[in-house]
Structure 1
Amino acid sequence: MNYQLNNIPERVVKPRDYGLTMAMDKGLSVREVEDLISTSSDYIDIVKLGWATSYVTPNLDQKLKVYRDAGIPVYFGGTLFEAFIIRNQFDDYRRALDRFGMELAEVSDGSIDLPHDEKCEYIRQLAQQVTVLSEVGSKDVEKIIPPYKWIGLMQTELDAGAWKVIGEARESGNVGLFRSSGEVRSGLVEEILTKIPFEKIIWEAPQKEQQVWFVKLLGANVNLGNISPHEVIPLETVRLGLRGDTFSHFLNNNHK
């Protein structure tokens, strides 16, 4: 840090297993990635190439190299996995992971109907090849999954070999964990946390108000995902109580 401040919450240092910030790259150029790394690499733990943008991104190898040289793991969005699965091209997907040297993969079923036992089998198979993140929740705003099902799905996918489970919200933050207004389904989140350790969940929270809510609930080292590249540093200030929304949250009582 550039100077000393007291009463700042302690952040787990990189490489870390929790307190993760997953940034979403929706088509950044190589130069934009270089700029992002110059300002934010200390605060980014993982980068997701959103949905299937990697299919159309030019200079993909070059961009991946820039991230790797900075020590930042990258993975393809879960929608790309689903695009391969719906076309019966799972082996082609595995070859694509090898072709681009991917160390992470996301298994999701937000856009397709995939029996859960089949999804878990994909997790088991991919876990022999890469580190797997699995996503729970639907991209369909009309599809509401009750809390006990979220818990069961998450636990089964962790048991199948997922490193982390991701709570679905899309890049807009208005489905899955959230109402169409963006408001957190607080009862759902709190019930999930009665059974699934917070360190094992990455909460997709693209909106500032959502990030603030999770930091206040779970502290500076909550795992948060789908963060816009331009919001990585602002999020870190939210985590540290250096933005108005969390300014008093981490101060000792006598400083409030």
Structure 2
Amino acid sequence: MNYHINDLPERTAKPRNKGLTMVMDKGLSLRQVEDFIEMGAGYSDLIKLGWATSYVSPNLDAKLKLYKDAGLPVYFGGTLFEAMIVRGQFDDYCRILDKYQMEYCEVSDGSITIEHDEKCEYIRKLSKQITVISEVGSKDVQKVFAPYKWIKLMNAEIEAGSWKVIAEARESGNVGIYRDSGEVRQGLVDEILTQIPEETIIWEAPQKAQQVWFIKLIGANVSLGNIAPADIIPLETLRLGIRSDTFEHFLK
């Protein structure tokens, strides 16, 4: 830090197991990646190349190298996994992971319908060779799961080999753990936290109000995902209580 301020909440140090910030890259150029790394690499833990943008992104190899050289793990969004699974291309998907020397992957079923046992089997297979992050929840605003089902699915995926489970919200923050207005489904989150260790969950929280809510509930070291590159510095100030939204929360 540039100078000292007393009594700020203690942040976990990188490489972190909790207090993660997962950044959503929806198609940054190489120059934008370089600019992001200059300002945000120290506060970022994972980079997700959103949904299947890796299929159409120019200079993919160069982009991956920039992130990896900066010490930032990268993975392809879960929709790529789904797009290939639904077409019977699991082996091709594995070859893509190998080709780009990916160390992480995301297993999700937010856009397709598969048996959960089948999803867990994919997690088991992939976790033998790569770190798996799995996502629970649907991208369909009409599909609302009861809390017990979220808990059951998360537990099963952790047992199958997921390193972390993501609570679905999309990049818009209006499905899954949120109402279509963006408001947190507080009862759902409270129920999940009675059964699932909070350090195993990455809460997708693209909106500032959502980030503030989770920081106030869990603390500075809550793991948050789908953060826009431009929001990395603002989010870190929220975590430290040096922005008005969380300013009083961390004062002793």
TM-score category, normalised to shorter length:
over 0.9
Q: 2:108: which partner in 1?
A: 108
Where do residues 161-240 of structure 1 align in structure 2 (5 Å cutoff)?
161-240=161-240
Task: Give the fraction of aligned pairs with identical amino acids, expressed as a percent.
Answer: 70
What one-letter code is carried by the residue in structure 2 that aligns with 1:163?
W
Structure 1 residue runs of 4+, over 6 Å off?
A: none
Q: 1:249: which partner in 2?
A: 249
Return the alpha-carbon distance in structure 2 between the equivalents of residues 84 and 10 of structure 1: 42
Q: 2:4: which partner in 1?
A: 4
Q: 1:50: which partner in 2?
A: 50
Post-superposition offset of 1:7: 1.3
Write the deviation string for residues 215-249 of structure 1: whole angstroms up to 9, x where unpaired. 00000000000000000110000000011100011
Post-superposition offset of 1:25: 0.1
Say which SS state the counterpart of residue 193 (structure 1) adopts. Answer: helix
What one-letter code is carried by the residue in structure 2 that aligns with 1:238?
L
Unaligned runs of 5+ in 1: none
Post-superposition offset of 1:93: 0.1
What one-letter code is carried by the residue in structure 1 that aligns with 2:72?
I
Return the alpha-carbon distance in structure 1 between the equivalents of residues 248 and 37 of structure 2: 30
Write the deviation string for residues 156-202 of structure 1: whole angstroms up to 9, x where unpaired. 00000000000000000000000000000000001000000000000
What is the number of equivalent residue pairs in this alignment?
A: 252
What one-letter code is carried by the residue in structure 1 that aligns with 2:46?
I
Q: 1:35: which partner in 2?
A: 35
Q: 2:127: which partner in 1?
A: 127
Unaligned runs of 5+ in 2: none
What one-letter code is carried by the residue in structure 2 that aligns with 1:249?
H
What one-letter code is carried by the residue in structure 2 that aligns with 1:96?
I
Say which SS state the counterpart of residue 38 (structure 1) adopts. Answer: helix
- RMSD value, Cα: 0.4
Write the deviation string for residues 25-62 of structure 1: whole angstroms up to 9, x where unpaired. 00001111111000011100000000000000000000
Return the alpha-carbon distance in structure 2 between the equivalents of residues 233 and 51 of structure 1: 24
What one-letter code is carried by the residue in structure 1 that aligns with 2:130?
V
Q: 2:147: which partner in 1?
A: 147
